[in-house]
Chains A and B, each alone.
Chain A
């Protein structure tokens, strides 16, 4: 997703989450801190998966047990049922504690929920993500999530008295921890030296300048030549070029004709009709050629106001 895809306000908010990680090769890699909303969504997905899985296993075990005994207490269980009970208690413990650790130690560094949302865990100092870090960040989940929620539900009932309220405020600090630092770290991230970053997947799309009118400036539909002069191309900058690129890649007919109209008005051409795409392709290729030539000489034009 390119930054220019969003309105300027969203772009600014996004820029606040940009970090640059310098690889050992000296290339600055942009990383985007995952938004808190995305992480909350990933957490909910993970809990749904976890809950459905453990529930299914529990139901299967209950089904098996109900086949072998009708009623009993813990002291007089037959061996097979006792074994299933042991299995169930251990499954519960390892599912709730091990799920996040197992998946975050994998090559993707993300639980299924995080993968769906498109984020991953990474080490904050640019080192590799170690198993210790993954374990440390997941051991704190209880005091960050479950204790605060329990206390928030129980404190207003007045059962705990002032101590209950104090505990609620105290644990709310952990629950709200990600909102009090710019890297959106939760307490577990802090002690593990990790953060959660966007892990977008991008397909390599086609080259625009080998298609249609971009090549020679001639429309394949009408054969008309579109050549733009220096003064016509100097109107726009890089931001407008990338907006145009997006319009061409999306290929929506209304957007294409609207943009073609706007450009015609701006550079003083007479708008035609039916051949908007060829016009835009030619304009895009020539504008980009001009801006890239300037770029090679160290001259950059960020947008039309620059």
Chain B
């Protein structure tokens, strides 16, 4: 077999320092000594790439990399058939492996990826899981109605459903004034950014959990959604019983349209993985899990970004703005997300086809 060598790239000065080829007693060692300089050069280029010093790499090295990689790969296949030098063989194997990771490694930086992500990739991923979003939406609405009906039948359910942190003054039988007080407008912005940061980390943690639980065929995700929405339904009933439905809805919607939408997406993304693993179609379960997992991961980045918005909205406009302003902001945010997720990526996809 003829092995391609790269005469034009080799460095004569390096060759001179190596042991003389004629002196080598074995043919396989002569083979190695003839190509060693190129391997060392590839090694040096890889070291720079692995340290992330792509900018410092001279142009000729970047151009030589694919050729050097192919040469090392062909050296390896020849050496496997002709050489018994274990040290050289393992060196070549690790060298080709490292080169493979760099040559076929990620071509785009984090920044370029993020721009593509916001510019349509996120919307397309969300559109791809539409069925799961419909299921999750149905489950959430059903959960809220269940919560309402349970509490309407028997107020004892309120204490079972609503966790202690919400059931401070907001309990069945509380007067209209007490409930209105809990929806009041704050008069200064002090302390609110700390509140926002706490809200964000808490909500993001919960939504990551909702997603991760979806791995178990989606069932725990659904249960989490039902439980959370039952709490909401119970509180809605409470405020409705004192004629405060509109105020409560506005108070909730300012951040709730963003936050509930994000939780909906997180649950749907988790369920998507579960559904694809339960019904993989033509592919193997493992392939289906990997494909849906990567799609769901994109949705989850979108979820975390939405939760940043939600926390800011929850901390500032909700505490500082009046009922009408709250409702307008909430509806505007909902329309914005709907347009971005379901209108934006579609046209781009159509243009690409």
List residues of chain A with CB under 8 Å of any chain B CB. Answer: 1-2, 4, 21, 23-25, 27, 29-31, 74-77, 79, 82-83, 85-86, 89-90, 92-93, 97, 105-109, 120, 122, 124-125, 127-133, 135-136, 139-140, 142-143, 170, 174, 187, 190-193, 199-210, 214-216, 238, 241-242, 245-246, 249, 285, 288-289, 291-292, 295-296
Contacts and interface: CB of A to CB of B under 8 A. Distances in A.
A210 B106 contact: no
13 contacts: A4-B86, A86-B194, A86-B196, A97-B208, A124-B286, A130-B294, A135-B301, A139-B212, A190-B293, A192-B293, A192-B297, A205-B91, A242-B86
B78 to A, nearest CB: 10
A210 B30 CA distance: 10
Contacts of A203: 91
Given A124-B290, A128-B104, A192-B293, A292 B212 contact: no
A255 B280 CA distance: 57
A127 B294 CA distance: 14
B250 to A, nearest CB: 24
A190 B286 contact: yes
A120 B28 CA distance: 32
A209 B29 contact: yes
Given A23-B73, A105-B106, A202-B95, A193 B87 contact: no
Contacts of A2: 86-87, 89-90
Contacts of A124: 286, 290
B134 to A, nearest CB: 22
Nearest to A126: B104
A204 B36 CA distance: 9
Given A190-B286, A288-B26, 10 more contacts: A27-B96, A77-B194, A106-B52, A125-B287, A133-B294, A140-B215, A170-B216, A215-B23, A238-B84, A292-B26
B201 A191 contact: no
A43 to B, nearest CB: 17
Contacts of A92: 201
Nearest to A30: B93
B105 interface: yes
A24 B129 CA distance: 33
A191 B273 contact: yes
B33 A136 contact: no
Nearest to B39: A204
Nearest to A105: B110
B32 interface: yes
Contact of B209 (A82, A127, A143, A208): A143
Contacts of B98: 199
Interface in B86-119: 86-91, 93-98, 100-102, 104-107, 110, 113
Interface residues of B, number: 84
B339 interface: no
B61 interface: no
A151 B107 CA distance: 42
Contacts of B301: 135
Given A108-B50, A136-B296, A207 B19 contact: yes
Contacts of B200: 89-90, 93
B7 to A, nearest CB: 20
Nearest to A192: B293
B194 A85 contact: yes
B97 A31 contact: yes
Nearest to A144: B212
B84 A295 contact: yes
Contacts of B24: 207, 209-210
Nearest to B36: A204
